[in-house]
Amino acid sequence: MRGGAEKSRLTEKFLARKLAEYDALHIELTGTTTGLNLIKSRTQLMQNNLSPIPELFVSYESAQKFKVEATELTSHELTQRQICDLELLMNGGFNPLKGFLSEEDYKCVVDNMRTADGILWPIPINLDVSEAYANTIEVGQDIALRDQEGIILATMTVTDKWEPNKAHEAEMVFGADDDAHPAVNYLHNQAGKIYLGGPVIGIQQPVHYDFRGKRNTPNELRALFRKMGWRKVVAFQTRNPLHRAHQELTFRAAKEVQANLLIHPVVGLTKPGDIDHFTRVRCYEAVLDQYPQSTTSMSLLNLAMRMAGPREAVWHGLIRKNHGCTHFIVGRDHAGPGNNTAGESFYGPYDAQDLFRKHQEEMGIEMVDFKHMVWVAERAQYESIDEIKDKESVTILNISGTELRRRLSEGLEIPEWFSFPEVVKELRRTKPPRFKQGFTVFFTGFSGSGKSTIANALMVKLMEMGGRPVTLLDGDIVRKNLSSELGFSKEHRDLNIRRIGYVASEITKNGGIAICAPIAPYATTRRAVREDIEGFGAFIEVHVATSIEECEKRDRKGLYRLAREGKIKEFTGISDPYDVPKKPELRLQTENVDVDNCAHQVILKLESIGLIAAN
Ligand code: PPS
């Protein structure tokens, strides 16, 4: 055996040689020399520890036993976000967490980004429930956690139950108590009022039927990297399709740190309005061919993002470390939530990089930071904006996400320098131009105002044009076929309109045209329906503004007379309110204007917003 002194001399020699190699490599890749500190930290972080990490699952035999026992327990039906969180808790993606945070851990995470034991953890992982449900649960009780089909995924021992200060959580974790932030909006408007905390026992993984072969647990990825001999792996987190700038950036990152590349897209929950993951995965597959063979792999991550910018970047890093990665790419505005109510960005463009840098040593995963990549036309290549010395004399091009969406929705050209033809083809398939998308025309107005007649005329005109299926959801028809058991109380009217909204949203989602023509007297319900539909396509509210006097004068069904006589109760405009739409897309005056003209005004409106192609 060698003596200690000799061993340390050898180690020193080895290190010196390694440092020289890294120095040479770095000079070769970047053309600059670097400080010794950087090289040292690279040496420390250069290899991943690929031994398995702890999971929360019990053995197969115990799971069968637990499953039977758990059927006796009080159940909690997990929300979509909770299913994502539970999956990563159970498979070790959220290692070292052992369950949903206790009250003490939650408070420490919110205030200091650490658990009560001092472990770095930036995002609270909570089991939020309604107050009514929480009242049925005692601290110390075991509960069964079920997915939306009722399958028991885990059990949890409730050790804590408390009402969180959500405004404080929003300020600390997301930087502002502002509903324009999607996670703050979720916190206040969707998450339950009470949090439950406690350790979790994993029984089975949530079931996924899509892209099964492309989803990997942390231990599966670790095993893959071991098998492939990937000692250094740089992960790229994404919730968007990859375009040329991303391909360039990720390839450079891998080259810079001499690592293999893992494209690790989020397929759980991303920012509302993002391109669906089915389309994105097809796009990623197309881009994978652009990397040198067997240097790059892709795996899907069922994470529910919070869009928490800097804190989220640290969280993403910890999750990737758990998945066996040594490096993590953090670009400009990482996990940015968009603008706040004042129209300003929630976080600075490089805040995420700063926070990551501060903690990376402790995290054990190294950041590869990137500035904004732009296309330099004269040199026909992507360059990092901060490295361009001759900004004044070259043409710098870039297409923002908003601009890309505009080009897609208007069917405009997307240049080759921006994206790959295969990616653009996929995007066009999913997001056809506006004149091929589904939409809803929602008429509202008093009974007898002319809604149905105009809606019928509009339907015929749209069918004459062809191209998309048209469905008319007229007030009377709906009441006969969908809502026959409902009356005209506020509650029943709301239910009726929500049903119409649901059917219209499905039609819109699937590329059809829904024409709705109920009275829909309440502004809040109309707004809710608008929100349901706008996720899938345009919503055009048309107020048929015939006055109540005129409707009563026409009294085509004789209902106004009965309402005046008190024989029909709760009659809109007579004995029940009607909220006049404040800002409809179109307001139609019907007095002295014929039906054909009214329908034509709607057609012109649709044309002006690009929903029907101008001939
Ligand atoms: S709502 O409020 O939107 O649910 O109403 P809607 O389903 O559109 O109403 C359909 C038709 O029901 C007739 N009707 C009444 N309307 C208003 N108030 C009361 N109490 C009432 N009772 C029956 C009325 O003729 C509506 O038809 P339209 O097509 O609007 O004339």
- Based on the domain organization, do 280 and 142 belong to the same domain? no
Segments forming the whole domain that contains residue 487: 434-608
Does residue 178 sit in the same domain as residue 257? no
Please name the residue whose Cα sits nearest to atom 25 of ligand 1.
Answer: 447
pLDDT band at 17; cut points 50, 70, 90: very low
Active site residues: 238-240
Structural domain includes residue 511: yes
**Predicted confidence band of residue 614 (pLDDT cuts 50, 70, 90):** low
> In the listed set 322, 352, 374, which residue is the last one of a domain according to the structure?
374
Q: Which pLDDT score is estimated for 170?
A: 98
Q: Which of 493, 498, 559 to mutate to test the pocket of ligand 1 (most atoms within 8 A of CB)?
A: 559
Residue 519 C-alpha to ligand 1 middle, in angstroms?
A: 6
Task: Give 3's pLDDT tier (boundaries 50, 70, 90).
Answer: very low
Q: Is residue 323 part of a domain?
A: yes
- State the Cα–Cα distance between residues 249 and 306, nearest whole angstrom: 24
| 69 and 12 co-located in one domain | no
**What single string gives the DSSP state of each residue in 343-403?**
SSBSS-TTHHHHHHHHHHHHHT-EEEE---EEEETTTTEEEEGGG-S-GGGS-EE---HHH
Specify burial of residue 430 (Cβ count, 10 A radius: 0-12, 13-18, 19+). Answer: middle
Do 535 and 585 belong together in one domain?
yes
Which candidate, 268, 263, 251, places its Cα nearest to that of 297? 263
Is 77 inside any structural domain? yes
Q: Whose CA is nearest to atom 18 of ligand 1?
A: 571
Asked whether residue 460 falls in the same domain as residue 546, the answer is yes
- State the CATH number of the domain containing residue 554: 3.40.50.300
Q: Is the CB of 367 under 6 A from ligand 1?
A: no
DSSP secondary structure letters along 145-179: EE-TT--EEEEEE--EEE---HHHHIIIIISS--T
pLDDT for the residue numbered 433 = 87
CB of 557 shorter than 6 A to ligand 1: yes
At residue 330, does pLDDT exceed 50? yes
**Residues 184, 276: one domain?**
no
Range of lowest pLDDT (1-10, 51-60, 189-198, 218-227): 1-10
For a pocket test of ligand 1, which of 572, 578, 579 has the largest count of ligand atoms closer than 8 A to its C-beta? 572
CA dist 612 → 346, 451, 564 (Å): 37, 21, 43
Percent of the chain with pLDDT over 70: 92
Task: For residue 38, tell me if it sits in a domain.
Answer: yes
Mutate to test the pocket of ligand 1, among 492, 500, 519 (most ligand atoms within 8 A of CB): 519
Please, which residues have CB within 8 angstroms of residue 483's CB and are 6 or more apart in sequence? Answer: 492, 495, 496, 499
In this prediction, residue 408 carries a pLDDT of 87
Is the C-beta atom of 571 inside 6 A of ligand 1? yes
Name which of 30-39, 59-68, 173-182, 221-230 the model is least confident about: 30-39
Q: Cα Rg for the chain, rounded, in angstroms? A: 29
Q: Please identify, among 374, 396, 417, the residue that sits at the C-terminal boundary of a domain.
A: 374
Are both 36 and 102 inside the same structural domain?
Answer: no
- The CATH number of the domain holding residue 186 is 3.10.400.10
pLDDT on residue 241:
93
165 shares its domain with 283: no
pLDDT of residue 572: 97
Count structural domains, the chain. 4
Domain end point (choices 151, 175, 202): 202
What is the whole-number distance in angstroms between the Cα of residue 508 and the centre of ligand 1?
Answer: 24
- Residue whose Cα lies nearest atom 5 of ligand 1: it is 519
Distance CA 271, CA 212 (A): 23
Residues 197 and 296 in one domain: no
* pLDDT, mean of residues 357-364: 97
Bin 338: left if φ > 0, else alpha if -120 < ψ < 50, else beta: left
Same domain, yes or no: 191 and 325: no
- Average pLDDT taken over every residue of the chain: 91
Q: Is 380 a member of any domain?
A: no
- 429 within domain boundaries: no
Q: Which of 236, 234, 291, 229 is nearest to 258 (CA)?
A: 234
- The alpha carbon of residue 219 and the mean position of all alpha carbons in its chain are separated, in whole angstroms, by 25
144-159: average pLDDT: 96
For residue 308, give both structure tokens: 């928490």
Please indicate, yes or no, whether residues 46 and 66 belong to a single structural domain of this protein: no
CATH of the domain at 338: 3.40.50.620
Q: Are 376 and 390 spatial neighbours (Cβ–Cβ below 8 Å)?
A: no
d(CA 95, CA 55): 8
* Per-residue confidence band for 519, with pLDDT thresholds at 50, 70 and 90: very high
The answer, yes or no, to whether any atom of ligand 1 lies below 6 A from the CB of 514, is no
Flag the least confident range among 37-51, 207-221, 332-346, 371-385. Answer: 37-51
How many other C-beta atoms can be found within 10 angstroms of the C-beta atom of residue 101? 26
Ligand 1 pocket, residue 488 CB under 6 Å: yes
Per the structure block, which two tokens stand in for 271? 């920012």
Residues 233-247 have pLDDT tens digits of 999 999 999 999 999
What digits encode the pLDDT tens for the residues 389-398?
A: 999 999 999 9
Q: Does the pLDDT value for residue 278 go beyond 80?
A: yes
What pLDDT shows up at residue 589? Answer: 96
Ligand 1 atom 31, closest CA? 447
Record the tokens describing residue 162, joined without a space: 């408390």
Give tens-digit pLDDT for 399-419.
988 889 889 888 899 999 999
- Rounded percentage of the chain residues whose pLDDT exceeds 90: 83
- The average pLDDT across 51-59 equals 93
521-567 per-position pLDDT tens digit: 999 999 999 999 998 999 999 999 999 999 999 998 999 999 999 99
Give domain status of residue 23, yes or no.
Answer: yes
Q: Ligand 1 pocket, 483 CB below 6 A?
A: no
293 and 187 part of one domain? no
Measured from the Cα of 488, ligand 1's closest atom is: 20
- pLDDT tens by residue, 426-482: 999 988 888 999 999 999 999 999 999 999 999 999 999 999 999 999 988 999 999
415 found inside a domain: no
